[in-house]
Structure 1
Amino acid sequence: MKTLTVYRLGRVEYEDGLQLMKLFGETRRQGLCGDVLLLLEHPPVLTLGRAAKRFNIVASDESLAAEGVETFETDRGGDVTYHGPGQLVGYPIFLLPEGRQDVRRYVRDVEQCVIRTLAEYGVTSGTIPKWPGVWIGQEDSPDARKIGAIGVHLARWLTSHGFALNINTHLPHFNLIVPCGIREAGVTSLQKELGRSVPMAEVEEKIARHFADVFELQRVEPAPPTRTVSVTLVRGKGADARVLLLRRRPERGGFWQIVTGRLEPGEQPRDAAARELFEETGLRTDVVDLEYRHAFAVGSVVPPRLVEENGFAARCTAEFEVRLGDEHDAYEWVDVPTALARLPFRGLREGVQRAIRVLAE
């Protein structure tokens, strides 16, 4: 029996999620791993599939910015959809065997995994032929409502993208768009249907089990991710705020980053952040927990190395003199736009933006 490795990643920035799909796709294509299911949550984002029409985004750019919602064009099928916290997103990276090389069957199988999961909560759902996704209610019913979106991409029978199941999703964000271009029906969530919040980890386990059953795969446990911390060190405020960037030595990649490092065995993230800050800059000070935890893949290697990172911030005076550690060969104090342009991962950029907001309070 072929294998299925399920990665439960928590928050993943959408841009970093695209990179994860790409790297795991290459890994699967080369036969370096079995089938993979990535389970995660995205920050608020609108994604436009190949058939998307821009007029189905009904909110203005100013309204989207005020709500903290980004927009991305993707290569999946379908129109515009919304991803956000409380929504379970699943990216199956499957190399379909000869007996399953049928696009319609693959979509039906993904839908069936969602339908079976909802049934475990006593929620009856199904499909409506003229509309994509998983629905509660009948096609001709005025209260038909969508609970799960399906948008897939296949290239030489390698799958990517997948499904988005509303668990504890902030449903008012769907008012920013015409979901999947369907004006005749609404959206719902498992929380709304049950009248209570539902633990995400519980749903993840159920849907992972159904993917293994429906696709006849044997689940295997993934290797644990590398745990790291990042620290945005800031001096000055407002327009004068400057962020410290460190350049890794050429043999370590040669790119610019904020303070980063791994947790040592038994170490807590806050302690690791303070230690890394001292080792890489010579500064001993308290760090501020940004309450930001995200996952991403390091670099462009195959197979990908997964990282789970906690973000922190710290402030120093203008007189502080940086003392570089062994990992870096140069440093610069740069304004925020320059820092955001140089950092290689969307999650690091998000950490900088959060740090500027928190330290300004």
Structure 2
Amino acid sequence: MKEVQFQDWGLIDYKEAWERQETLFSETVRIKTENRTKPESQLPTEDFLIFCEHPHVYTLGKSGKPEHLLLNEQGLEEKHATYYKINRGGDITYHGPGQIVGYPILDLDHFFTDIHKYLRYLEEAIILTLKEYGIEAGRSEGQTGVWIDANNPWTARKICAMGVRCSRWVTMHGFAFNVNADLNYFGNIVPCGISDKAVTSLNKELSREVDINETKEILKTKLCELFEMKLV
């Protein structure tokens, strides 16, 4: 089983976390680039799984539309929120306390070189975690992420958003799983560019506060099983 370094950064400013991700990602890409030019001296690359939470922040992916943020600068200040245009795929999303934000920085050459399979595995880990709480979740055709009642246009609701970047089969960014998130903040955006479906969280579905550390442990187990990895 591939060893992956697990780090929990706790509640961390989005920009600081992005910079730390970039450092790990860039180093892995650098090593892989050098290995291609110097086949006689191959250096190993490391893999990371990072969990964290962020203060209120909106992030816009490369394919997103700025007008999907429904707040101006003053509105952001009133909501104590920040806003960043970033280098992942996808549209706009919200991060905040009560979410498990996951950043796998993996060299997929250690696992499988298939970005679609990678995204499906991330989704499946969330789906299996929700199953532990008695919640049936799944996918919405053509839309990345994890949904409840995805096929019902009246009750479909998203519980986990995803957006990744991949270069030389090295990944960064990842997923945002609403556990005890304040869903009111999603009212200030068109989440992931989807205007006709709601957003939900684990605590809303269960009608109770959730022990987020318990959820983290379940999710870690599911990721390890799917990716056949061992966290160290």
Aligned 1:178-189 pairs, distance under 5 A = 178-189=190-201
Of 125, 131, 134, which aligns to 2:146?
134
Distance 1:138 1:107 in 2: 17
Match for residue 9 of structure 1? 9
- Is 2:111–2:227's contact at 8 Å kept on the other side of the alignment? no
Structure scoring higher RCO (CA < 8 A, sep ≥ 6) equals 2
Match for residue 54 of structure 2? 42
| Shift >2 Å, 4+ stretches | 26-34, 138-141
Aligned residue identity for 1:152: V
Of 203, 216, 231, which aligns to 2:215?
203
**Secondary structure, counterpart of 1:104 in structure 2:** helix
Of 108, 111, 120, which aligns to 2:132?
120
Of 92, 106, 115, which aligns to 1:80?
92
Distance 1:33 1:177 in 2: 38
1:107-165 alpha-carbon deviations (Å, 9 max, x no partner): 10111111111111111111001322100003343010000001011000000000000
Q: 1:98: Cα distance to partner?
A: 6.7
Match for residue 311 of structure 1? none
Number of aligned residue pairs = 220
Aligned residue identity for 1:2: K
Match for residue 25 of structure 2? 25
Q: 1:32: Cα distance to partner?
A: 6.0
What TM-score comes out, normalization by structure 1 length? 0.59
Distance 1:167 1:33 in 2: 32
Match for residue 149 of structure 1? 161
Aligned residue identity for 2:53: E
- The two structures, once aligned, show a CA RMSD in angstroms of 1.5
Match for residue 176 of structure 1? 188
1:47-76 alpha-carbon deviations (Å, 9 max, x no partner): 000111011111232211101110001110
Q: Aligned pair in 2 of structure 1 residues 201, 98: CA closer, same or farther (>3 Å)?
A: closer
Of 148, 157, 161, which aligns to 2:173?
161
Aligned residue identity for 1:23: T
Larger radius of gyration: 1
**Percent of counterpart pairs with the same letter?**
39
Match for residue 77 of structure 2? 65
Q: Aligned pair in 2 of structure 1 residues 121, 55: CA closer, same or farther (>3 Å)?
A: same
Aligned residue identity for 1:12: I
- Is 1:152–1:159's contact at 8 Å kept on the other side of the alignment? yes
Uncovered stretches (5+) of structure 1, i.e. residues with no partner = 221-361
Match for residue 206 of structure 2? 194
Instruction: Single out whichever of 70-79 and 131-140 deviates more from structure 2.
Output: 131-140
Q: 1:42: Cα distance to partner?
A: 0.5
What TM-score comes out, normalization by structure 2 length? 0.90
Distance 2:182 2:150 in 1: 24
Q: 1:27: Cα distance to partner?
A: 4.3
**Secondary structure, counterpart of 1:97 in structure 2:** helix
**Secondary structure, counterpart of 2:88 in structure 1:** coil
Q: Aligned pair in 2 of structure 1 residues 68, 35: CA closer, same or farther (>3 Å)?
A: same
Distance 1:186 1:89 in 2: 19
Distance 1:23 1:98 in 2: 20
**Secondary structure, counterpart of 1:50 in structure 2:** coil
Q: 1:99: Cα distance to partner?
A: 6.0
Aligned residue identity for 1:76: R
Q: Aligned pair in 2 of structure 1 residues 143, 210: CA closer, same or farther (>3 Å)?
A: same
